[in-house]
Amino acid sequence: MNAVKKISVLISGRGSNLAALLDAIDAGRIQGRMVRVLSQRADAVGLQHAEKRGIPTTVIDVKAYPTRDAFDAALGDAIAADAPDLIVLAGFMRVLGAAIVQRFAGCMINIHPALLPSYPGLHTHKRALADGVKWHGCTVHFVTPEVDVGPIIGQSAVPVLPDDDEATLAARVLDAEHHLLEDAVRWFCADRLRVDGCTVTLRPAAAPPPLFCQNPCQHSQG
């Protein structure tokens, strides 16, 4: 039986994806244990989801650091203190530099509100509506130094309806995010994901777990 994976989550706002993950863990759908929730904003409402469940929280105030590298180093040390097996960027509105991404290579995933490679970056719903696309959605991918281009774990598509505005489309995508992120975290915790270059494959549930990747997560403090 697989060892229970330790999970850290990074958020910046209301934390709805965090709440969905916590519900899935509590219900036994994810064989993982959340060890910490971190944010670069002390006013992130999502921190309350963790605090109500007794999960430690840490705020690394971006304004307290003179450079991005200094912030990333502090954030990386705070993450590494718990030695998590998986770091989930769940609405974390901060671009991470190459050093911290490489430090946790193969162990850090992100959920993005678009069907990558379409609409990387910000304002995805507005851009999708402006282009008149018929389908929109979300993507979970491994984090790499290049923004929003890491190996894709999974995607979920939703229809764009004729009367959609940004709010209605965002709500439909957010619901899809909750389900997709739960799936991705569950697969990771069950050692079912295999990365081969830019391709992620899902192993059958009954397959014996191999070494996850050739570039394992590093938890050194230095």
Asked if residue 191 lies in contact with residue 197, where contact means CB atoms within 8 angstroms, the answer is no
d(CA 46, CA 50): 7
d(CA 21, CA 31): 11
Q: Is 126 helix (H, G, I), strand (E, B) or coil?
A: helix
d(CA 2, CA 68): 37
Asked whether the bond before 117 is cis by omega within 30 degrees of 0, the reply is yes
* Phi, psi (degrees; rounded to nearest 5) at 208: -65, 140
* H/E run at residue 3: none
- Look up residue 209 and give its two tokens: 């777990």
Provide the angle, in degrees to the nearest 10, between the axes of the packed helices 166-189 and 16-26: 40
d(CA 102, CA 144): 7
Catalytic site positions: 112
